[in-house]
Amino acid sequence: MPEATVVEAVNQALTLEMARDERVVVFGEDVGRSGGVFRATDGLYGKYGAGRVIDTPLSEGVIAGASIGLALAGWVPVAEIQFLGFVHNGFNQVVDQLARVRYRSAGRFSAQVTIRAPYGGGVRAPELHSDGFEAHFAHAPGLKVVAPSTPYDIKGLLLASIRDPDPVLFLEPLRGYRQVKGEVPEGDYVVEIGKARIAREGTDVTLIAWSGAVQLALQAAEDAQAQGISVEVIDLRTLVPLDAATLAASVTKTGRAVVLQEAPLTAGFGAEVVATIQEEAFFSLQAPIRRVASPDVPYPVQMLEEQYLPNPERVLEAIIATTRE
C-alpha cells in the first residue's frame, strides 16, 4: 500500500470526494489558489475550479455560519478553519447554530457539514495556534467530534465525516501533519465514526489518547514495555460519540487506565473519558484512573512548549504509578 502523511491523507480524501460527489464545496481562508497554509487543499482549485474551492473573507464565524446555508441550498460544505483556536471567533455559530440545525427545526432541516481544523501543539506555532480546545466542542450536542491520528484513519474518517448527514468537527493533528506517515489505500474507503482503535495491545494498563498525542502514547507504551509493563493503547479516533464499549472492554481486562490529553487538565476531554470508564468498568478498576495533561495555563509561546506539553517521561511515570497502586 502506498504511504502518505496526515496532510496528504486529508488531501486525498478531499480530492476523491470532490470527484465522487459534485455537491462537495471546499472553502475557508486561503484554501483556493494557495492550497491552504498547510497545503491540505493543494490542487483542488486547479481541479475543481473557483466555483467549488473558494477563498473566504477572514472570518471564522461566517465560515461556520455560511456552511449551514450552503447545506440548506443543497451543497455538502467542507470548511477549513486555519487553526482550531480561531473557531472561538465563531463559537456561537458552531455550537448554537450549526450543531442545532436538525434539532431546532425538529428534523425539517439538517446540515451535512464538515469543519476541518488542524490543532494541537508541538510544532512551534505562534500563540493561540496550538491550543487543544477539543473539549469545548465535545460539549456541544448535535456536533460530532472526530480526532484521528494516523493517515489511514484520517482519510477514512474524513470521508465518513463528509458523508455523515450531520455536522462533524474534524480535527487534524498539526504535529503529525507532515511527520506521521502511514499506509493509505488509494481508493475510496470509510472508517466508521464512533469507533476507537486498539493502537497497541497490552494487558497491564490501558492508555487512552487521541489525535497528536497517540504517537506519544505509543512511545510511552514502548518505554513501559522496557520496564516490563504491558500497555494497551487506545486511539479514540472519535471523541463524540465516545466509544465506551471499547474503553470498558480494555479496562475490564487491564484494571488500570491512564488518560493522556494535550490540553490543560481541568475540564478537558480526558475528564469525560475518566468519568465514562469508571461508570462502565468501575469494579474492574484496581487503581484510580490517572490523567496526564498540560497544566492549567494557556498554551505558551514556543520556548516553553516542551515543558508545557505532556512528554513520554510523564506518561511513563503515570503508567508506573498506576501499576503500583
Partner 1 sequence: MSEAAPAAHVNLDGVASTPMPPMVRYLDEDGELLVEDLPMSDAMALEGYRVMLRGRRFDERSVSLQRQGRMVTLAPGIGQEAATVGAAMAIDAKTDWFVPQYRELAGQLWHGYPLRLAFLWHVGHPIAFQVPGDLKMLPFQAAIAGQLPQAAGLAWGLKLKGDPGVVLAIFGDGGTSQGDFHEAANLAGVMKAPIIFLCQNNGWAISTSISQQTASETLAQKAVAYGFPGIQCDGNDLFAVYATVREAANRARRGEGPTLVEAITYRLGLHTTADDPTRYEPTEMHDLWVNRDPLRRMQLHLIARGIVDKAALEAIEDEVKDELRVAWEEAQKEPAPDPAYYFGQVHADHSPRLQRQLGRFAARDGEAKRRA
- Grid coordinates representing 288 are 484510580
Residue nearest to ligand TPP (CB): 86
When CB distances are held under 5 to 8 angstroms depending on the partner's kind, the choice from partner 1, ligand TPP, a copy of itself, none that residue 262 binds is none
Tell me: does residue 47 bind partner 1 (CB under 8 A).
no
Q: How far apart are the first and last CA of the chain?
A: 44
Burial readout 190-215 (b: 16 or more C-beta within 10 A, e: otherwise): bbebbebbebbebebbbbbbbbbbbb
Cβ 86 to ligand TPP shortest distance, Å: 4
Enumerate residues 134-193 that contact a copy of itself by CB under 8 A. Answer: 135-136, 138-139, 141-142
The residue written with cell numbers 465506551 in the block is: 244
* DSSP-assigned letters across all residues of 226-272: HTT--EEEEE-EEEES--HHHHHHHHHHHS-EEEEEEEESTT-HHHH
Binding status of residue 300 toward partner 1 by CB under 8 A: yes
**Binding residue for partner 1 (CB under 8 A) from 46, 49, 124, 267?**
124
The reply to whether 136 belongs to the active site is no
Return the one option of partner 1, a copy of itself, ligand TPP, none that residue 139 interacts with (CB less than 5 to 8 A, by type).
a copy of itself
Total residues in contact with a copy of itself, by rule CB under 8 A: 48
Which residue carries 480561531 as its cell?
86
Interface with partner 1 in residues 72-91 (CB under 8 A)? 72-75, 77, 85-86, 89-90
Find out whether 182 and 151 touch, Cβ atoms under 8 Å: yes
83 contacts a copy of itself (rule: CB under 8 A): no
Residue 73 has which C-alpha cell? 441550498
Looking only at residues 233 through 252 of this chain, which bind a copy of itself when binding is defined by CB under 8 A?
240, 242
Q: Which is nearer to ligand TPP, 29 or 204 (CB)?
A: 29
Site for partner 1 contains 142 (CB under 8 A): yes
Tell me how crowded residue 320 is: count the other CB atoms within 10 A of its CB: 15
Instruction: Measure the CA–CA gap between 14 and 23, rounded to whole angstroms.
Output: 12
DSSP string, 12-44: HHHHHHHHH-TTEEEEETT-STT--TTSTTTTH
Residue closer to partner 1 by CB (options 44, 184) is 44
Query: Closest CB to partner 1 among 62 and 198?
Result: 62
Choose among a copy of itself, ligand TPP, partner 1, none what residue 312 binds, the Cβ cut-off being 5 to 8 Å by kind: none
Binding mask 37-76 for a copy of itself (x = CB under 8 A): ----------------------------------------
Cell of 287: 487503581
Residue pair 230/207 in contact (Cβ under 8 Å)? The answer is no
Which residues in the chain belong to E strands, given as ranges? 3-5, 24-28, 53-55, 76-80, 114-119, 144-147, 168-173, 181-183, 197-200, 205-209, 231-235, 237-240, 257-264, 290-294
Least spacing, CB of residue 137 vs ligand TPP, in Å: 17
Binder among 164, 269, 319, 323 for a copy of itself (CB under 8 A): 269
Binding partner of residue 274 among ligand TPP, partner 1, a copy of itself, none, CB under 5 to 8 Å per kind?
a copy of itself
Question: Which range, of 162-170, 174-182, 245-253, 277-285, touches a copy of itself by CB under 8 A?
Answer: 277-285
Residues that are catalytic: 129
